[in-house]
Each structure stands twice: as structure tokens, then as C-alpha cells.
Amino acid sequence: MKTLLKIQASLFGDQGQSSQLANRFIERWRAQHPQARIVVRDLSANPVPHLTAERFQAFLTKPEERTPAQQAIVNESDSLIRELKEADVIVFAIPMYNFNVPSTVRAYFDHIARAGVTFRYTEQGAEGLIKGKKTYVFVSRGGIYPEGADTEVPYIKQFLGFIGLTDLEIIVAQGLDMGAESRARALTAAHERIAGLVPLRTVAA
């Protein structure tokens, strides 16, 4: 049985544009994998705390030397990482807030980037340790950012690649707040992309 993990971050929950695009994709994907388990992590409804000095120190402390409070902090991070490792397919729904991913996504990234657990450095450079997972990222934004002026997608690619998520499909719907025409154009293009990613199978009579 396959597991799909959806990680969403819109302030508007399932009504958010990014969530709606991800949900559209998931509906089609589910039609092909009716037995699949869908796990949802909503970073807006249940934000991960900021990475404080105390939290980071807990990550650095050897397991046998951790206090119970430090162990509880590490357990939270471990369970986020376990959730990623247990997924076969990962779907991110990420709006642009103030020119990059929402701060809830940053805090989440801070908790899943763990040296020796999700990445390591070798003589050849960094190696991501969460491998072999197809990852879909749905990005929504009000304005339009051409390549070179986009501060969000390159960051997402760099971070996910760093922990090993390199098999990426990134679907960007932009210009969503620039009038009805711009919005309709962006959504139509995103819907077409989704249809191309998960064609609906025709059922033989």
C-alpha cells in the first residue's frame, strides 16, 4: 500500500490556492491508487516551533546525554522525519508569503534538516539521505516572478535537493492576484499540468 504525504502551509487551509491545486492532483492520483494512505500535515493549523538555541542544542547532544526535555524535542523532529521516510510520494502545497515560502515552512525545514539523519557531508560534498521519493510541489503566488527574479522556487529546489528529494515536479500558479484573466490563465495552465502528470485512465468496458 502506497503512502502519500501532503504538507500544506496556506493560512486558508484547504481553501488556499496552493492546497486546492495539491488536492486536485491528489484526487486524480488517488483514483489510480485507491488503496493508498493519505497523510496530511498542515503547517498553518499546527505549526512547528521556531528552531531556538535550546532546540538546536538538543539535536547536537548525544542520545545518552540528553535530558528528558531534550529527548522530547528530538522526538518531535524524528517523527517529522519518519513521516517523510514512510511516504512513497510527497506533495507540498506552498504559497508565497513575503517573497518566499511561509515562515511555517522554514521552521519545518529547520526541523527536518538534521546532520547524519537527513543529510551528511562527504569528501564529495553534501549528500541527501531521504532518497527515491517522487515529490510534487504546488506553489501559488499573487504576482509574477520570472526566472532570475524568483526567490522562492530556487530555494525550495535547493533545500529539498539537499535532503535528497531530487525527483521533483514543481507546478507554479502565479499572477493569481492580478485580475480575473491572469488568475484564470494561471489556474488553467496549472490544471493542464496536473492532468499531464496524472492522466485519468480510461476503464476498459
Cα–Cα distance measured from residue 38 to residue 167, given in angstroms and rounded to the nearest whole number: 20
Please, is 132 exposed, middle or buried when counting C-beta atoms within 10 Å of its C-beta (0-12, 13-18, 19+)?
Answer: exposed
Cβ-contact 41, 3 below 8 angstroms: no
* 177 belongs to the binding site for ligand FMN (CB under 6 A): yes
Q: Which residues have CB under 8 Å from 172's CB, separation 6+?
A: 139, 140, 141, 153, 190
Q: Which of residues 141-170 bind ligand FMN (CB under 6 A)?
A: 141-143
Q: Does 128 bind ligand FMN (CB under 6 A)?
A: no
Q: Is 104 in the site for ligand FMN (CB under 6 A)?
A: no
Taking CB under 6 A as the criterion, which residues in 50-69 touch ligand FMN? Answer: none
Q: Of the two residues 13 and 49, which places its CB atom closer to ligand FMN in the complex?
A: 13
Q: Which of 2, 11, 54, 131 is the binder for ligand FMN (CB under 6 A)?
A: 11
Q: Which stretch binds ligand FMN (CB under 6 A): 12-20, 48-56, 64-72, 194-202?
A: 12-20
Piece of 23-31, 34-42, 103-111, 135-143 that binds ligand FMN (CB under 6 A): 135-143
Q: How many CB atoms sit inside 10 A of residue 100's CB?
A: 16
Q: Does 99 bind ligand FMN (CB under 6 A)?
A: yes
Question: Containing H/E element for 78?
Answer: helix 68-86
